[in-house]
Amino acid sequence: MLRSGGLEGMEDHGGNGPASGGDGNHTRCCTIRSMKSDEADGQLQHGGAEDDDCQVVFERKLSFGNRDSGPDMDVTIWQSLPEDIGEKVLAWLPVTSCVRFKSVCKRWLNLMSSERFRQMHSSNVPPETWVLSFGGQSSDPILEFKYKGQVFDPVFSKTFMIEFPFLPENSVPVATAGGLVCFCCDSSNNGENDVSFYVCNPITKAWKIIPSPCSKVSIVTLVADTEAGFMGYKLYVFCDASVVRWLWVGVLDHSTKEYDSKLNRWKDVGDVHSGEQFKPGSVYSQGKVHVLSSENVEALDVQLGNWMEMDAPAYASCATLLQRRGRLLVVGDMVHHNVFHLPNIRSYVGIVIWELDPATKFWSEVTRMPEALVDSFSYSSFSCVIVEDLLYLFSRSYSLPHTMVYSFSHHLWSRVPNWSEAAPSKVFSFCPRLDASA
């Protein structure tokens, strides 16, 4: 069932993100608390100075070039501009500008809603990547059933809201890929679970309802499929089918289903028997769906239907599985179980990032959060996501939420201002596309 409409426009919150402000040349300054993970606390970096809390404070300037138009151009030049040239100019606009400019006139609305313009725009404009976070449904009765997502654009340092008013109650965001967002809705009807997936493009306001092949869903993975120039997608769903008894031990039987948007049907792709529950979230990389349990990382080859298993990083607790440039990462708390209460041995170490070597299947420690910043996250659950070169971590402490950023290229940890009033419960990387079809 394909639907269109119902999504409200994007509500711009201005420069409320970690980096905001600017001058006429679109150069923005961002003052953030930062620390090298491998340098002593309080050491000055990048010409910075210490503040009252003895934290290193520096200004990071982000320059996007001089966009001053110069002297005013004669309006007759624009009036006589051929339509095809005007369309090509519009096709170079950022996605957010295309959304706003639809309301300029009916001709622009029809133009930007056409498939031809969407394809031209996607081929012209470099891909953008946003941070898309969800904190739950609104308590405002006026916004009832309008599920809101908050977007942070790291390039322009802006936040804005995207509404999903078509979603029913009990809808949970589970995956993003290729400009699409997938929600899982579990509604009870006459004592039976009725599970459906809502796949939508928040930019074009189109969505599709896909009935689930099973009533108990644990993991959902959305994969963009761009073969043969057709913008499609696939859904991989882990169904908790049954509990298999073997020598008095209950082993959960996970059956995996694949939905192909081109064929509009489900098929079986493989089963796995695991003694443990998988943690929420999954990673698709190198043709495999990777999931994380408390002790292992398991990967399903979606073409062959084969499973492989590898150890998870030792001492990793409250871990999240991510990927960067095709390599698997685990972000989590490092906890040493000091069962003998030995002196000078800390049970809690802090947030650590591990990376998997695909050849040796060995996990190596990339970095750990400096002690001066750990207190904000210690013994607190968190959400995290990777956008380009940066890892964003959001503490789920509702009393005092914190946001941290780690730069892989500069090996730098930063405490940044919160752009959300409440701690997000779900965080995704989202690449907006006009040509992504639900």
Is 383 inside a domain boundary? no
The total of structural domains in the chain comes to 1
Rounded average pLDDT over 174-200: 83
Confidence of residue 63 (pLDDT cuts 50, 70, 90): very low
| Whether residue 206 has pLDDT greater than 50 | yes
Contacts of 424 (CB under 8 A, 6+ apart): 133, 134, 135, 150, 383, 394, 396
Handedness of CA 348, 354, 359, 361 (dihedral sign): positive
Distance of CA 101 to the CA centre of its chain: 26
According to the model, what pLDDT value does residue 217 have?
A: 84
| Whether residue 404 has pLDDT greater than 70 | yes
Q: Domain range holding 93?
A: 81-126
| Whether residue 148 has pLDDT greater than 50 | yes
Is 102 inside a domain boundary? yes
According to the model, what pLDDT value does residue 398 have?
A: 57
| Whether residue 54 has pLDDT greater than 80 | no
Is 306 inside a domain boundary? no
According to the model, what pLDDT value does residue 373 have?
A: 80
Is 403 inside a domain boundary? no
Is 318 inside a domain boundary? no
Rounded average pLDDT over 343-367: 80
Is 143 inside a domain boundary? no
According to the model, what pLDDT value does residue 377 have?
A: 66
Is 115 inside a domain boundary? yes
According to the model, what pLDDT value does residue 379 have?
A: 54
**Nearest residue to 402 (alpha-carbon basis) of 18, 8, 1, 4:** 18
pTM value > 0.85? no
Confidence of residue 378 (pLDDT cuts 50, 70, 90): low
Is 329 inside a domain boundary? no
